[in-house]
Every structure is written in C-alpha cells, then in structure tokens.
Amino acid sequence: MIAWREDCPSRAVARQAGRVFSPVSSLSALAVSEPPSFKPALKSERTLWDRILEFVSPGLDSRDELIEALAQAEDRHLIEPESRAMLEGVLRLADLTAGDVMVAAPRMDVLDIRAPYESLLALVIDTAHSRFPVIEDSRDHIIGILMAKDLLKLQRSPELNLRTLLRPAVFVPESKRLNELLRDFRSNRNHLAIVIDEFGNTAGLITIEDVLEEIVGEIEDEFDDSQAEASVYTLADGTLRVAGDASVAAVNEALSLNCPDDEFDTIGGLLSDRLGRVPRRGEWVDLQGWRFTVMWARGGAVRWYRVVRRPDDEAAAKPEPVGNSGP
C-alpha cells in the first residue's frame, strides 16, 4: 500500500476542495483539464549597466568608423590581412559601378559572325575565354554571346548556322552598381554583360569574375600570367599589404623600388636576409624609405607584411634599421 505524505501538494489541494484524494482522480483531473497556456516571454529591458556601456562605447555610425574598426581588429590580430581586405572590398562594392571595372571596348575579344570557322577557332584557342561577344559589322552591333564549347558543334556539324548557337546578350548601363550587378548575375545565372554608355554604344564588357575580384582580389587561373598587383593590396587607410611570397620585381614595380632581383626571388627572402633570420610577428625592416612590418607569419615563413612610408624623422638616418614594433 502506498503511503501519501501529508506535505504532498496534490493531497493539500484535495483537502482544500473538501474531497478525498486518490491517485486515479488526480490523473483524471489532469486528463480533462485544459493545457497550460504558454505566453511569449517579454523582452527584458536594458539594465543600467547596459545603458552605461552604450553611453561609454556607442556603436558604429558610419562606414569610415567601420573601416577604422577593421583596421584596429587587424592590429590586434583578431582578423587576418586577407579577411580585412575582403571585408573592405564588400564595403566598397556599392560605391563602384560597371564602368569602373569593365574591360573597355577596344580591348574586348569579340567574334565576327561572318568570319570563317578556322579564324574563330584560332581566336578562341589564343584567348582561352569561355564566352565571347559576337558582332556583326561593328563592335556597337553585338548580336549575342557564344560559348566556346558551342563552337565545337560546328566541327561535328558544319551545316549548322552559327546564329542558332548564340545566346542572348545582357546589356547594362555604365552606372550600374556592382552590388546590384552581382545580385543580377546570381539570380539570372549569367556570367557576362555588355556595358553600354549613355548614347547606347558599346562601352565594354564585365564578367562576374571582375566583380568578385573587387572583393577577394586578383583571381588567377592556369592561363593567367603573374601580375604585380596580385600580391600587393592598398587598403582604405592608405597602407599596403604585401605577400611574403611576392616577387621582388613585383614589389619594385608597385613601390618604385630598385631592389636587386637576381639574388632573391621573393621579398620575404630579401627581408629575411637583411635580418639574418625569418622575422617574427611585429618586427619590422626598413627598405628604401618603406617600413615592412610582419603582420602574419606561419610555418617558418612570413605570409603578409604591412607596408607604410618610413617616418620622416627616421628617413634621414643612414642605416636602415631592423626593429620590433612591440613594447
């Protein structure tokens, strides 16, 4: 027999109701009773401490403050240089237009609809593009876009008309914002657009790769040549980021230096030779009026340098010192 405690809540409730308590009756009452109503929790109000923190450290109110916050986060090693460059690229995307990053019309690789198949195939092989604007009579008369893979269909079926292989061309004005253009590229599953000027003439072309390069930097494939600016970036605050594996020739061109490139292939090797070892994070080396500070090192090699003009009060010194930016 089960003994019920006197302090049991269910028994106390039964006594107050003036009836005999039993487990069966309690379960029945629970079965027929209405389910408890759940009310959404009210949003807790800000405490006095939250108000004080908000007053002492208010949020960011402008894009300049956000860019400055990114610079501080990089200085405190909270984000890597590549992450800061990408975030700043996203912020700048809305300020750029298609006319700012397009390939100008004179530099466009186009196919003439009336050209023979052999010349079309030779141009496709030489340029190694995947899409080509097709013109008729002039560059201002673009009749469509030809995929390079579709050109092979003519080799198997010479009786095909090239016009039947063309895809509709997308035209955008020069003033089209890059953030809007990127959204259109994604929604329409299109990778190339023809840019026209205010008079309706062909101003150039722009691809989704051109837009993405404004965020992540230069995108190279097996057909691209090495570019000097691929490893040298200029940020919004005027400082530069130089990759440790950037070639000496590329840094010479970007910073107007005259460092010899016959002994060392990379700028990281040249600076390590001046120091006598691989520099650590925070250490800096002055080179021909520029100060290279190690921002990120991993695996026994420097990945990124922060480069600024050497301070004027130190530029007059004869030796180019090596130091540590830390305390």
Dump pLDDT digits (tens) for 74-92: 888 888 877 888 888 788 8
130 plus 187 within the same structural domain: yes
Tokens of 74: 């990089």
More confident position, 182 or 50? 182
Q: Is 257 exposed, middle or buried (0-12, 13-18, 19+ CB in 10 A)?
A: middle
Could you report the per-residue pLDDT of 282-294, keeping only the tens digit for each? 788 999 999 998 8
pLDDT for 230 equals 56
Closest CA relative to residue 131, chosen from 115, 104, 110, 117: 110
Residue 124: give its domain's CATH number: 3.10.580.10
Whether 70 is in a domain gets the answer no
With 50 as the cut, is the pLDDT of residue 299 above it? yes
272 plus 177 within the same structural domain: no
Whether 266 is in a domain gets the answer yes
188 plus 123 within the same structural domain: yes
Residue 263: give its domain's CATH number: 3.30.465.10
Whether 242 is in a domain gets the answer yes
Show the domain range for 259. 228-324
pLDDT for 318 equals 44
Domain end marker among 187, 216, 245 = 216
Phi, psi angles (nearest 5°) of residue 196: -120, 150
Q: How confident is the model at residue 144 (pLDDT cuts 50, 70, 90)?
A: very high
202 plus 300 within the same structural domain: no
Is residue 256 within 8 Å of 287, Cβ to Cβ?
A: no
Whether 122 is in a domain gets the answer yes
With 90 as the cut, is the pLDDT of residue 146 above it? yes
Closest CA relative to residue 221, chosen from 148, 288, 127: 127
Domain end marker among 216, 246, 261 = 216
The whole-number average pLDDT for the span 31-51 is 52
Whether 190 is in a domain gets the answer yes
| Cα gap 67→71, rounded to integer Å | 6
Please provide the average confidence, as pLDDT, over all residues in the chain.
Answer: 76
